[in-house]
Structure 1
Amino acid sequence: MFKTTLSIIALTAGSAAMAADNPMVGGAEMYADKNIVENAVNSEDHTTLVKLVKSAGLVETLSGEGPFTVFAPTNEAFTKLPAGTVETVTQPENKEMLTQVLTCHVVAANAMSDAIAGMIADDGGDHPVETVGGCVLSAKMDGDTITLTDENGRTANVTIADVKQSNGVIHVIDGVILPKQ
């Protein structure tokens, strides 16, 4: 009994230590030893994103080995889209469009904010970011904040950076990135 209790305490302390390096997101601890999907489902600020990832059939992909950098829009970011947009893209006939929108938020690399800021500086203040979905984002610095502008001129700010995952990193953003229209 005593040994079992110590093991549980040690596991809990170990998990807390793994989360201590990560910021809280949506009221939930984010664990570096869990993958992107395992962490995202716990964030109260990302319920819309999780619903869309499930609708697009991307759960298995984003649970995979990676590495992935995900620019994760909050629920509030989705409310900035025209009324009915989220409902429209979740219709079965729009699955391809939804998949492209979501994969325009994903880069096939593990890019922490200091690396992104370095690339922006190396490129004279504007770094092109190619996404899995075929979008090219313009990454810039606004003071200490990384901004991403899509091909339509929509800008999103990184509000929480460097949320480490077992298969990459999440950067929370306040806007939705859309493919070129």
Structure 2
Amino acid sequence: MQVRFGFPSILSGKSRASGLKLGGSLFLGLALAGCHGTDWSHNYQDSFETPAKTSMSYIPDAVAKAFVEPKNNEPSTPVAYQRPATPSYDDRPLDENIGASIELANYMAALRAVGLVPWITGPGPITVFAIPNEAMEKLSSRWPGGLMAPAMRGQLTHILGYTIVSGHWDEKTIRKTIARRHGQGIGLKTLYGDILSVHVEPQTGAILLNNPAGQTTRLWGHSFPQSNGVLYFTQDALIPVSR
């Protein structure tokens, strides 16, 4: 499987091989703690230097499912007021569009908690496979106290790092690359060196993501252009695992 455009690995091979074991998680937390003093200001995308565009897309959100038609045209509850869709602006960076999405509120809060927001603020290109609220909550419930507990910082950082890939991997690029490989999937190197596999389902033509353990998730909607990369919404969370 081909690997393209990987980030420089922060961890040693031994640490990555430990997957989500406690020892590896603690080592990861210590490694990141040493990076918190880095000055990221030189890497931030300057809004005034970004070419302005007028294009945008509406990104997914499950809030609309809560809408209830008011009776007698007299709304009496918050869900009776239909909220507008959330836009993703092509000329804004990943951190701004993700931060503005109510559907990615938990994901953005987690990125902030572990200090990974700087990784999506630079000029890129960066591709993010963001995890929506419901999937984040489902994943968090697998651990006592949830993923946001201080003791889970290492594991949460590793999981979030698995959603961040270097390079501009929009749908067109993914499909074209897989077609050149005669349908064989590709492997994208994520923030901490774990491989995220991407392939096209022959029966439906849908783009699927999977980890080395064979766990699979589908994308929710299409790719959304960002000024410093590409944003995707996944339907579920994938956990990085060792081969």
Same fold (TM over 0.5): yes
1:160 aligned to which of 189, 197, 221: 221
Match status 1:24 vs 2:59: yes
Equivalences for 1:10-89 in 2 at 5 Å?
A: 17-19=54-56, 22-26=57-61, 27-81=85-139, 83-85=141-143, 87-89=145-147
Q: Which runs of 4+ in 1 moved over 4 A?
A: none
Distance 1:88 1:24, change over 3 A: closer
Match status 1:119 vs 2:154: no
Paired-residue identity, %: 26
Match status 1:106 vs 2:171: no
Equivalent residue for 1:3? none
- Structure 1 gaps, min length 5: 1-14
Larger helix fraction of residues: 1
Q: Larger relative CO (CA 8 A, sep 6+): 1 or 2?
A: 2
Counterparts of 2:144 and 2:89 in 1: how far apart (Å)?
28
Q: CA deviation at 1:25?
A: 3.4
Higher alpha-carbon deviation: 97-106 or 73-82: 73-82
Distance 1:79 1:128, change over 3 A: same
- Structure 2 gaps, min length 5: 1-51, 62-84
- TM-score (normalizing by structure 1): 0.81
Counterparts of 1:56 and 1:76 in 2: how far apart (Å)?
20
Over residues 110-129 of structure 1, what are the superposed CA-to-partner deviations in whole Å (9 max), with x where a residue is unaligned? 11111111222223332222
8 Å CA contact 2:126–2:229 kept in 1: the answer is yes
Higher alpha-carbon deviation: 25-34 or 65-74: 25-34
1:133 aligned to which of 180, 192, 195: 192
Q: CA deviation at 1:84?
A: 4.7
Count of aligned residue pairs for this structure pair: 165
8 Å CA contact 2:53–2:91 kept in 1: the answer is no
SS of the residue 2:232 aligns to: strand
Counterparts of 2:106 and 2:145 in 1: how far apart (Å)?
11
State the structure with more CA Rg.
2
Over residues 43-77 of structure 1, what are the superposed CA-to-partner deviations in whole Å (9 max), with x where a residue is unaligned? 12111101111111112221122111001111122
8 Å CA contact 1:102–1:133 kept in 2: the answer is no
What RMSD, in angstroms, separates the aligned Cα atoms of the two structures? Answer: 2.2
Counterparts of 1:78 and 1:124 in 2: how far apart (Å)?
34
Counterparts of 1:87 and 1:163 in 2: how far apart (Å)?
33
Distance 1:65 1:85, change over 3 A: farther
Counterparts of 2:145 and 2:160 in 1: how far apart (Å)?
14
